[in-house]
Chain A
Amino acid sequence: MRYAKLRGWQTLTGPQEIGHGPIFWSVFALVVLMLLGFPLAGSAFALSNLANFCLYVPMGIGLALLWGYSGVLSFGQAAFFAVAGYVYGILAGNLTDVPFGTLLAAAGGIGACAVLAAVFGYFVFYGQVSGWIIPLLLLVLSLILETFAGQTAGYQWRVGSVLLGGYNGMTGIPSLAIGSLEFGGAATPFYYLVMLLMLGAYLGTRMLVNSHYGHVVAGIRDDIERTRTLGYNVNFIQIQIFVLAAALAGLSGVLYVSWGNYISPSSMGLLAATLPVIWVAVGGRSSLLAVLLSTIALRWLADALAVKGGEYAFLIMGILLLATMLFFPEGIVVMLAHRLRHRPSTRRSAAKSESR
């Protein structure tokens, strides 16, 4: 029995995530190269759109980590996304003369999410509450935040020199910038930033879930008392994952406002709260890669629907969610991946074990 500590790169491949072996990694590398080379071939419009779809991936991965790997359903990712966006907007708008002001603002935005998540997590995880309480309370939190942000119209609602803007939202948010290099929505640097962060978030969490820590988290999901009685401070670990997921959502939020220079209460309402859940359910919460793909695909779909029939967008999302839960509970992408693995012509993966 090998007990050698799993060294960093070894955790890139493991039983907790699909996709193993040379074929997979070759395809992966190819896709990454195509993504990196896209700016040479695509229009600025296409670049901006793709960047917009991909910036949501960290948020989706965060929820997959929470729901699929840790067993905690959260409706709060949109709330953290928007909190980060608003906090970033406030800080960046006020720190315009400070060097690296936007980076400080980004840290502040993500930090605010982490703190909010830690406080919320303290109450629910140390209370050891039933699983259904967490999504309900997070839904309520989203609603309250949306209502609050919606009534902040008017000049008295400002922090420093930044207006909160009420239902119309906060406008004129400066994009992330390092010196004179600006990561604004339509620009190539932003595209590369998003690709870098998206791949980094994916590979990083992939390594996390295959590591010892990731296995403990899965153990908490599968049998919480067993994990307690093996010496783990389960409540604390649950808060850690919750905060990590919130930080990932916050990262998406900061990227979003850097892209669009704008945020509004609709980014944290009920409908916004639903979207990450749909991405993760449709992709398959047991796989980070599945969620990455479904997030991009569903964001593209929402965008396409907005053009041709915006009113139907959420109806279709609802039908998709219900249909997935009823007929493809493991997720559509995961189901396809499993079909692929069991075709006789496919090479067997290195790890034969499956874990849910």
Chain B
Amino acid sequence: MQVASSNGPALLRAEGLTKSFGGILAVDHLNFTLAPGELRCLIGPNGAGKSTLFNLISGLTRPDEGRILFKDCDITRLPPYRRVRRGLCQKFQTTRVYRGMTVAQNLLIAGGGATSDRQRNGRLDWALAALHLDAERSVTAGALPHSHQQWLEICLALATVPELLLLDEPVAGMTPEETKLTARFLDDLNRQGLAVLVVEHDMTFVREIGRSVTVLHYGRIFSEGTLDEIEANHEVRRIYLGEF
């Protein structure tokens, strides 16, 4: 069942993406579409190819076959930094911030020197406040609790003024309250027009956010739909839990 709005051009389109590592086919001729301003969750059992798909989209890995279009431009051959400049930013599975520098210094770097962009600064102010980071700007990033580091990384991504945010397990290791806060935050972000693609295992989180969900399995799209549809789907239950 098609949930993504197919009116108008897709923001992100992957066609025939294929990637193997050694003998393992991680992504298998995958076709994927995301509309502008859409919020989508990507779920699937371990090894389904979710992180690989992310790395292909952000450019850290090159596909063996296929191509990726962002805002109708073929970005398949572009290095990561060019993709970021076009509005595509990833938050990594293992949190990557500059651990030896303060929150303020981290944001300074992510900000790209464009310090007079009112809209972006406004959004950052709001984000830092919503994520309780505004009181911590002099704290060294490495000393922050894990959840705050993840939030910081999201803010770093926001500082690059993205149109599409790729979040790889943003709530891993968070408490239920923190997970709720993150979900609400991403929801607000999405309402402001930012497209968000999230990989997550935490079903409570997906339920909080999940408007549309894509299920990946063995490097292919297994199923797409609303969360209710997905949860009711016996086949999806099977790939997660095995035959029963």
Contacts and interface: CB of A to CB of B under 8 A. Distances in A.
Sorted nearest first, the 8 A-B pairs with minimum C-beta distance are A231-B84, A353-B102, A3-B115, A212-B113, A5-B115, A219-B109, A226-B96, A3-B121
A227 B109 contact: yes
A213 B97 contact: no
B108 A212 contact: yes
Contact of B140 (A227, A229, A353): A353
Nearest to B127: A1
Interface string A176-218: 0000000000000000000000000000000000001101101
B212 interface: no
A33 interface: no
Contacts of A4: 115
A353 B101 CA distance: 8
Contact of B96 (A225, A231, A355, A356): A225
B60 A229 contact: yes
Contacts, number: 92
Interface residues of A, number: 28
A209 to B, nearest CB: 12
A234 interface: yes
A204 B100 CA distance: 24
Contacts of B109: 212, 215-216, 219, 227, 230
28 contacts: A1-B121, A1-B137, A3-B111, A5-B115, A15-B102, A15-B105, A212-B108, A212-B109, A215-B105, A215-B108, A219-B109, A222-B99, A225-B60, A225-B96, A227-B109, A229-B84, A230-B89, A230-B109, A230-B160, A231-B84, A231-B85, A231-B112, A233-B81, A353-B140, A354-B100, A355-B100, A355-B102, A356-B100
A228 interface: yes
Given A215-B109, A219-B109, A226-B98, A1 B125 contact: yes
Contacts of B96: 223, 225-226, 229
Interface of B: 58, 60, 79-81, 84-85, 89-90, 96-102, 104-105, 107-113, 115-116, 121, 124-125, 128, 134, 137-138, 140, 156, 159-160
Interface string A1-15: 101110000000001
A214 to B, nearest CB: 10
Interface of A: 1, 3-5, 15, 212-213, 215-216, 218-219, 222-223, 225-234, 352-356
Contact of B101 (A212, A231, A355): A355
B75 to A, nearest CB: 14
Contacts of B98: 218-219, 222-223, 226
Contact of B104 (A1, A213, A222, A228): A1
